[in-house]
Amino acid sequence: MASIIKADLIFINGNVITMNELSPEANAIAVKNGSVLYVGETEDVLTLKGEQTEVVDLQGKTIMPGFVESHTHTTGYGNNLLQVDCRPAQTPSIDDILAKVKDAVEATPEGEWIRGWGWDDSRLAEKRNPTRWDLDKVAPNHPVFLKRTCGHVAVGNSKALEISGITKDTPDPDGGHIQLDKETGEPTGILQELAQGLVSLPKLTKEDVARGLKLAQKDYAKWGITTLHDMSTQKIDMEVFQMLKEQNELTVRVRPWIWAMAQRDRAGLLDEMITLGLHSNLGGDMVKIQGMKFMLDGSVGGRTAATAEPYEDDDSKGILYYDKEHVAPYMKRALEAGLRVAIHGIGERAIDVALESFKEAHQAVDISKMRNRIEHCGLPTEDHLKTMKELNMIAASSIGFIYHLGDSYIRNLGPERMKRVYPQKTFKEYGIVAPGNSDLPVTDGNPWLGIYAAVNRKTVSGQVTDTVQNISVYDAIKAYTVDAAYSSFEEDTLGIIKENAKADLMIVSDNPFEIDTEALKDITVEATYLGGKKVHG
C-alpha cells in the first residue's frame, strides 16, 4: 500500500479494539487532521509514515475508542472540586465530615458559605444522615450546605436554615420535602429534592465555573472520556464551554442538554431556546446542542425516586415532581421546535409520566426518529419497554449506580425489584439502545467501574445485585462507546475506530477481553487522545 498522503500520527504493533462490527480487529491506526485515516496492519500503516509523522509503538498494548459518557454534570462536577469533598473514601464517618467542615471553617471568613458534596449515609459508619445539629458543632457561625452523593438530598446547618428562612412552619414546596424531627417538629437540616431550592446560596461566577471545568477535564481525560453529554446545562455553562473552546482549552467534546424547567437553583430555558430558534444538533465538533433536559423524580439511594411500590421498611413511594398534565405541554413544545427531549425518570411512576407525555406529543409530531431519551430508566416495566421500542427511544442507563450505589438499592428496593434495575440484558432483548453512564458527580466517573458492574452485577462491597441482567464485556464497552455515540447521531464518528471517525483514542493497561471479569474495574488509561492530540498520559 503506497500513498502520497502522509499521516500526522500512527500507532503500530498494537491490539486495536475498533468497536466496528464490520472490521473488529487490527493492529495499527493512522491519523490525519484529527480523524482516522486508516485502520489495519502495521505493515500497511507504516507506508503512511512521513518525515513529520509521530510514531507510537504500542508494543502489544491495547488501544480503543475514547469513551462517550452519556450522562454527566460537567460543570457541576467541576464546581464540586472547588468545595469540601465528603465522598465516602474521604469521609467514612460523620466525624470525618465534621473534621473536613471544621478545616473549611478555619479557612473561611465568618458568615461566608461553606459548600460540600458526596456524603452517602449508606456508606457512613453511623448509617444515618448528618443533621444540622451535627454541623452546628463545628460551624455555628458559617452557613453550611452539603449535598448527598445523589444530588437529590442535602443537609444544611442552623445558620443556613436561618439565612434561608426555613423553619418548622415552612411548607414543603411542590416536588420537595423538608424533613422534621419526629419529636420536636424542628427541621433536621435534611432537604429533599426541590426543597433544596429554598436555600439562599450565592451564585457562582463565570470564572468559578471555568476554574472548576479545567479541573474536571483532567479527570475526564484520565478516565479516557473524550465526549460527554452534559445533562443540566445552564447559560453560564454554555458560555464557559464556548469560552474554553475559543481559547483552545477545551479537552473534551461536549454535548449539552439544556435545562428546560425552573427547578432547584436552575433557571428554565425552554422559552428562550424556542424564541431564539435554537434546535438540536446546532454547533460543531467540540460543542453541539442536543436538546432539552427535564426531571421527574429523585433517587433510589435518597428514597425519592417515584416508585410504584413503597420502599423497604417504609410506606414512602418517593417524590414525583410533576404529573403528565403539567409536564407534557412543555415537552410537546420542545419537540415541535426540533428540540429533542431527555427526561429523568428512575421510578416506575416517573417513567409512566414520561412515556405518556411522549405518546401525547407523538400525536402532534413524529418523534420516532428523534432518539429521545429516558434518563437513568431505573425500574422500567414490560409495558414501558414496549412503548420505548415503539417510539425508538433511548434508555440512558446509569449502570455505574450498580457498583457505587447498589448496596443502598438492595436495602431500599429488596431482592425482587433488583432483578429489573438498570436492566441491560432486557434492554438488549427489546432492541432498545441503552448507553451507560455514571451521572458524575453522583458516582465516580470512571467508566470501567460501570463496565465491571454491567458484566458482574456487583456492588462496591461485593454484593451481587442480581444474576439475570448480566451482559458481555463487549456489550458493556459498547454501552460506553458506539451506543452512547448513537445518542447524538454520531455513531459513525465517535466511540468507534474506522476511517473518517474522529481520532479519539485511549491506550489501556489491559485487554478487557483477555482478563478475568473481576479485573475490569482495575483497568487504567495510560494515554488519551482527542482528535489525535494527547490530552492525558
411-424 pLDDT, tens digit each: 999 999 999 999 99
Instruction: Calculate mean pLDDT across residues 373-377.
Output: 99
CA distance 223 to 415: 32
> Of the CATH numbers 3.30.1360.30, 2.30.40.10, 2.40.30.60, 3.30.360.10, which one belongs to the domain with range 9-60?
2.30.40.10
Q: Report the pLDDT value the prediction gives residue 54, as an integer from 0 to 100.
A: 98
Using one digit for the tens of pLDDT, what is the confidence trace for 17-74? 999 999 888 999 999 999 999 999 999 999 999 999 999 999 999 999 999 999 999 9
What class is the 83-198 domain? Answer: alpha beta
Question: Of all residues in the chain, what percent carry a pLDDT higher than 70?
Answer: 99
Q: How far is CA 262 from the centre of its chain?
A: 20
Q: Report the pLDDT value the prediction gives residue 152, as an integer from 0 to 100.
A: 87
Whether residue 265 has pLDDT greater than 80: no
Instruction: Calculate mean pLDDT across residues 336-365.
Output: 98
Q: Report the pLDDT value the prediction gives residue 1, as an integer from 0 to 100.
A: 53
| Beta strands across the sheet bearing 176-180 | 84-85, 114-119, 144-148, 153-156, 187-193, 176-180
Instruction: Calculate mean pLDDT across residues 250-265.
Output: 94
Is 83-198 in the same CATH topology as 9-60?
Answer: no
Contact 397, 368 (CB under 8 A): no
DSSP state of 261: S
CA distance 243 to 225: 20
Q: Report the pLDDT value the prediction gives residue 527, as an integer from 0 to 100.
A: 99
CA distance 523 to 528: 14
Q: Report the pLDDT value the prediction gives residue 3, as an integer from 0 to 100.
A: 64
pTM of the predicted structure, to 2 decimals: 0.90
Using one digit for the tens of pLDDT, what is the confidence trace for 482-535? 999 999 999 999 999 999 999 999 999 999 999 999 999 999 999 999 999 999
Contacts of 4 (CB under 8 A, 6+ apart): none
Q: Report the pLDDT value the prediction gives residue 2, as an integer from 0 to 100.
A: 55
Site of grid cell 503500530: 12
CA distance 290 to 192: 29
DSSP 3-state percent helix, strand, coil across the chain (nearest 5): 30, 25, 45
**DSSP letters for 299-356:** -TTTT-S--SSPPTTS-----B---HHHHHHHHHHHHHTT-EEEEEE-SHHHHHHHHH
Q: Report the pLDDT value the prediction gives residue 263, as an integer from 0 to 100.
A: 84
The secondary structure element, H or E, covering residue 486 is helix 482-486
Q: Give me the numbers of helices (H) and strands (E) for the chain, helices first please.
A: 18, 23
Domain layout of the chain by residue ranges: 9-60, 83-198
Contacts of 172 (CB under 8 A, 6+ apart): 178, 195
**Which cell is 111 given?**
458568615
Using one digit for the tens of pLDDT, what is the confidence trace for 443-463? 999 999 999 999 999 999 999
Contact 104, 114 (CB under 8 A): yes
Using one digit for the tens of pLDDT, what is the confidence trace for 122-157? 889 999 999 999 999 999 999 999 999 888 899 999
